[in-house]
Structure 1
Amino acid sequence: MSNCDHKSCAKEDFEEHLGKLAAAAFLDDEELIRVCQNERVGPVVDYRSPLNAVEVKALKTRDLERLRGAYRKQTDSGLLIEVRELEKTWFVTLDGSAAAGERSQYLGAPSVRSLADKLGPLLVELEAQGVDDYYAAGWRLGGQVAALVHGGSCSVAEIPGVGPGIFLAALQYGHSRPHSLDRAVRDRVQDWLDSDSSKMVASFDGEDGLRCGVLVLPPAGVGFTMMRSLSEDFPDPTSLPTEPLTLPKGLDTLIIVAGNHAMRFTPPDLWTRMVLHP
């Protein structure tokens, strides 16, 4: 797979593997090989063939990555956040829709670190009132809890072997059905191109072949919502965005991958789409 003996070059992560599959399919190129990352000083492409150079990146949002990082840090030390005054186990899910770029009445990401200090006392009040779900609380307490969990869930649950406290469950994401693939995919990809594509473009310096970028959408957060748009809202492979992308100088074509759905844009306005079969 690699044209060198470095272990780091031979290793392929999930996004790179999926990106290579998509590039090989769209470009009809089975000669793509892994490029040695020590080939030169500075960034280099991930794959190359006699005709094409391919660089793979994952689309991530800063707010969502910070939220997921804080969540992993907390869950690595235990799912239960102990709050001394609580007498029951509260099952809590944080909503990451706003952090993933979905429509939400909240901004940014909910704070994992504030759960014990800020959410804990509110849950103590709910217990004192005999309330087992914040949806059943009065507007003041209910609104405060909702703001901390960003509209996620927070209710008493009996979990075998788990004592009183805040039991932090998985993150949840909402999905609002878009009216077009321009809104669902094209606009979000353009935002990434405008703000975070510089490293991708820099990798193509000195490349003679077609410069193909591949943007892989992770299966959580913004990737999950875009994947749902392609698989549920617009499943027909002939459904395409109507507006073109503006690619940065140094990038000839861009492939977007969400699960087994993939689209390619080539200037000035050519969109194509396929279903991948790994």
Structure 2
Amino acid sequence: MTVRADARRAAVLGSPIAHSLSPVLHRAAYDELGLENWSYDRFEVDEAALPEFIARLGPEWAGLSLTMPLKRAVLPLLDGISGTAASVETVNTVVRAEDGRLLGDNTDIPGMVAALRERGIEQVDSAAVLGAGATASSALAALARICTGEVVAYVRGEARAAQMRQWGERLGIEVRTEDWSRAERALTAPLVVATTPAGATDALAPAVPERPATLFDVLYDPWPTTLAARWSAYGGAVVSGLDLLVHQAVLQVEQMTGLSPAPLLAMRTAGEKALAGR
């Protein structure tokens, strides 16, 4: 059944952006929901260009997805943000409210929790995070919901270590930091969350234990990462960046369109097909 509505627009912004799978996922959702007059595009936008882009948004815009380096740069440009986004000062979703206000949210955090829950992981007694930054802080916020004990963050430099400890205090979760040179120790944790760029964890692969637990690697292209491939070969559970991307996109579609539930299966299938074709 076709849903009748005025033509609406949405898009993903970031730099670089050509690799983004978000258009594939959102368009698959629109097709499944019968939203024939909705469009979803991608735009190369950096921090300097973001204010003008936001200022020029017309009433036809339903929302935006944001990737790096815009997740924090957008904060002063919005009319309000959700408690979830405020908890990590990071926005990946902008939705135009009925009164025209632009409101920010963070669907990465509940998306991470949903991706883990889909694999049967409801709670862990400890965890390790590889890396620092916006995605790492979102990972801490997700772990604050499911981890009952300590989180150890492996980072480069004391400044980043201090930042991760501060995020832990703010989010109400115990965070201990270790230098990146000791990152091999992370691999024995019940849950390892890798938030680093492509290639950063490759050197850790030989240290994967014989019976690894669960790895959540937020990358999806290239996939599998060297670490994820070794993890799977040893029988460990792996949650991929595609899992995260799909679950956070489901929440974005629901917020932007007002329709629920979003078609998770159709979106994942479209994402897998697009990745296989690269």
TM-score after normalising by structure 1: 0.27
Q: Which has the higher contact order (CA 8 A, sep 6+)?
A: 1
Question: Which has a greater percent of helix?
Answer: 2
TM-score after normalising by structure 2: 0.27
